[in-house]
Each structure stands twice: as C-alpha cells, then as structure tokens.
C-alpha cells in the first residue's frame, strides 16, 4: 500500500533553538544543572529509581509550601492543571464557589469552576489592587461558598494578594481555601499550614526555573475529608486526587499505575527544587525582592508608571503602564529581534495596557535587571524616537 503523505522537508533540517533571555512572566531561564539533569537517560514510570526521585520531590515541595500534608505530589500538566485539579476535586454540581478576582486568573478559574457545575460568584478588586480581608469577609457572608479561590500572585496585573487571616475566615465559615501560587512561590512568603490554606499549587517554570509541564500541588486534611464526602466521582479521571496520590505514594497504600510520567521532567524539577533548598526560602525571597526594588527604581527613574499599587506589587512580575503613543507590540518585537530578550505585553484585562517584566529564578539578579532596563529603554527609543524619557534618568 502506497503512503501518499510525504515526510516533511522541515524535519530534514537540524533543530534550531536560540538562546533567549526570558524576562517575561514565565517561563524563566533554567539553571545549567536543571538542563544537564534533563539530558540523563529516560527511566520507566514505576522503576524504583523513578519512585525515589518522586519521593525526593514530595519532600522538597513540602518545604517550599511549608506544609506537612501527606497529599503533596505533582501533576503531569502545566500550572493550569493545578487549577483544574483543585477545583475538580473539591467541587460538585451546585456547590457555591467564590472567586477572588484580581486579574485574568480569576476569570480562568471562574470558567473552569462553571464547567464542573459549580454556582460561581465573583468578588472583584479595584484595578491594580488586591482584595482586603473585609471585602472577602463580606463576600463570604453574602454568598456562603463551600470554596474560596484566590490567586496570590496575579501575573496579568502584577498584583500580590495578601493571605494572612483568610484561612481562619474560611474555617469560621465552613469554606475551603484554594490558592494559586504559580507566579508567586519563592518570590514572597507562603505558609500553607500556618495560614490554613486547604489546597495550593504552583508552577514549575517560574521562580523554580524548571521546565513547564509538571505542577506541584498539595491538599490538607480538610480538603481530603471533603473529597471523601463527595456524592459523585471526580469528573476527570486524570485529576482525581486519590488516584494520582496513590501513584505518588501519598496515602500509605500500594503504588498504582495512573499515567506514564515524564522521567526527564522529574529530573529537572528535582534539581530545581534542590537548588531552591540549598539557597533557602528566606534567601530566595530576599533576592527576588531586592531585584524587584532595583527594577522599580530603574523604571521610575526613566519616567514610567507602574500599574499595580505600591502596597500590592508582586516582585516576580512587574506591570508597566504603556505610555501614550507607544506601540507595545512593536517594542516587544524589537527587544526580541534585536536583543533576544523577552518583554511581554498584558494579558486578559491588561491586554494592550501594560508591559510585563518577570524577575524569576535565574533571572532575578542585578545584572539581568540592568540588562532588561537597558533593552527596554533602547526598544522604546527605537519604536518611538521622540519619546521623552525623564531628563535626570541615567542611561542603563
């Protein structure tokens, strides 16, 4: 029988992967140790060496989340998988969920929750601001949700959502608290147990600097008990907490085959977490916050306006209001084409309104802050030669 579809000519060419400086909201550049680990031989998904690496990762994730939860593991998915899995496991048809909206990820969580049959309500923060505890209390008392969803680090707006006191508020109202820390973990403090967070997930490709595609997640005892009281099966087999948890050896039962995990992603994540542990959480956070201050000072010295309110700024992703008359897309394209430096535009409610600069993992250094400031200035100047920078701003 004749094969009529021919092998593509493009695949006869060698693979081309440029070396770019990723100063957008993620992914970030990986440490050489992470890249080297990923080049090691592939192992089977139930080989004892693979299971040992998974166990190492669980312990590291507990350290990063500051939790002792047994149900701590990773999903074979991007950070979106964490959002899906927390909502899918903890919601049933008709359950009321309250979404704290500080940007795009609130909209995305609301969409997902509705698809799982939940009765979705939203409490919205002012543009560029976080929600206060009083605003959350009022919304909880109004809607009586079974689940509250918050994004600690909203990468579309550059807003940092405060969490202290929210867990206690939720417990007083028989409500579970889910927190998205994809863009924030490692750049700001997070204490899962102390702050009484019931479910959390993060991104491997942000501050950790591992490849995307494997998502750390944790459920506490309250979330596990809510799962056990479900009247219906979890709607998606792939996200089922108990099935994935048994593959990861979380519940003291024999390990099962759930799916074929990528051993190479495990290698990269293990080394990324090991690097974070060696640096320590306090040092990791201090480095990101120091770099954020340096970036803020450089941007304001040139006359740019930061989008997020000063008290609510997320150090890992900075949003800069697009000046009048400046084409943000041309600026981002010039930076990439000329310097191989990624500077991003807005997302969701900030699309067309802001630039986004990420300082995460290996890119949170004073040298890379200075580099992105220089590239940003030169790109603005190239796209709009008559742009009036603040006169007292030193050239980066």
Instruction: Tell me the C-alpha distance between 176 and 167, whole Å.
Output: 8
How does DSSP classify residue 9? G
Measured CA to CA in angstroms, residue 99 lies from 40, 308, 385 at distances of 42, 20, 43
Place of tokens 């990986």: 30
CA atoms within 13 A on the CB side of 73: 24
Measured CA to CA in angstroms, residue 118 lies from 93, 99, 114, 154, 333 at distances of 5, 11, 5, 23, 41
Q: Is 255 annotated as a binding residue?
A: no
Closest CA to 175 of 145, 150, 149, 195: 145
Instruction: Tell me the C-alpha distance between 66 and 191, whole Å.
Output: 5
DSSP structure string for 300-362: HHTTPPBSS-GGGB-TTEEEEEPPTT--HHHHHHHHHHHH-EE-EE--GGGTTTEEEEE--GG
Phi, psi of 201 (to 5 degrees): -145, 165
Instruction: Tell me the C-alpha distance between 130 and 153, whole Å.
Output: 10
Q: 321, 307 in Cβ contact below 8 A?
A: yes
Tokens of 27: 């992914």
Task: Quote the crossing angle between the two packed helices 366-383 and 328-339, to the nearest 10°.
Answer: 120
Q: What is the dihedral of CA 188, 189, 192, 195, to 10 degrees?
A: -120
Instruction: Tell me the C-alpha distance between 363 and 209, whole Å.
Output: 9
Residues in the chain: 396
Residues 271, 16, 81, CA angle at the centre, nearest 5°? 45
Q: 314, 183 in Cβ contact below 8 A?
A: yes
Q: Residues annotated as binding site?
A: 356
Q: Residues annotated as binding site for substrate?
A: 356
């Amino acid at each position: 029988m004749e094969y009529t579809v021919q092998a593509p000519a493009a695949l006869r060419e060698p693979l081309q992967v440029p070396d770019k400086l990723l100063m957008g909201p993620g992914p970030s550049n990986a440490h050489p140790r992470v890249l080297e680990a990923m080049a090691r031989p592939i192992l089977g998904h139930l080989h004892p060496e693979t299971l040992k690496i998974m166990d190492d990762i669980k312990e590291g994730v507990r350290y990063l989340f500051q939790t002792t939860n047994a149900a701590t593991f990773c999903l074979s998915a991007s950070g979106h998988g964490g959002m899906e899995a927390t909502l899918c496991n903890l919601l049933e048809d008709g359950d009321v969920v309250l979404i704290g909206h500080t940007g795009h990820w609130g909209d995305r969580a609301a969409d997902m929750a509705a698809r799982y049959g939940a009765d979705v309500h939203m409490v919205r923060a002012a543009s560029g601001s976080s929600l206060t505890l009083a605003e959350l209390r009022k919304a909880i008392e109004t809607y009586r949700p079974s689940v509250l969803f918050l994004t600690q680090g909203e990468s579309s707006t550059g807003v940092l959502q405060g969490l202290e006191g929210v867990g206690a508020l939720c417990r007083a109202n028989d409500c579970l608290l889910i927190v998205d820390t994809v863009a924030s973990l490692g750049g700001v403090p997070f204490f899962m147990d102390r702050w009484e967070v019931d479910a959390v997930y993060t991104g491997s490709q942000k501050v950790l600097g591992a490849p995307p595609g494997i998502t750390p997640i944790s459920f506490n005892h309250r979330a596990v008990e809510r799962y056990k009281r479900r009247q219906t099966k979890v709607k998606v087999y792939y996200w089922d907490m108990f099935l994935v948890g048994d593959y990861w050896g979380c519940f003291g039962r024999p390990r099962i085959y759930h799916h074929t995990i990528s051993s190479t992603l495990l290698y990269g994540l293990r080394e990324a977490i090991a690097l974070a542990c060696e640096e320590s959480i306090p040092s990791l956070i201090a480095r990101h916050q120091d770099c954020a201050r340096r970036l803020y000072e450089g941007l304001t010295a040139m006359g740019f306006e930061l989008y997020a309110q000063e008290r609510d700024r997320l150090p890992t992703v900075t949003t800069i209001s697009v000046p009048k008359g400046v084409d943000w897309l041309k600026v981002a394209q010039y930076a990439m084409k000329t310097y191989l430096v990624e500077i991003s535009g807005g997302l969701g409610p900030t699309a067309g309104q802001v630039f986004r600069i990420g300082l995460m993992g290996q890119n949170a250094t004073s040298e890379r802050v200075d580099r992105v400031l220089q590239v940003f200035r030169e790109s603005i100047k190239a796209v709009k030669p008559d742009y009036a920078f603040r006169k007292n701003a030193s050239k980066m």
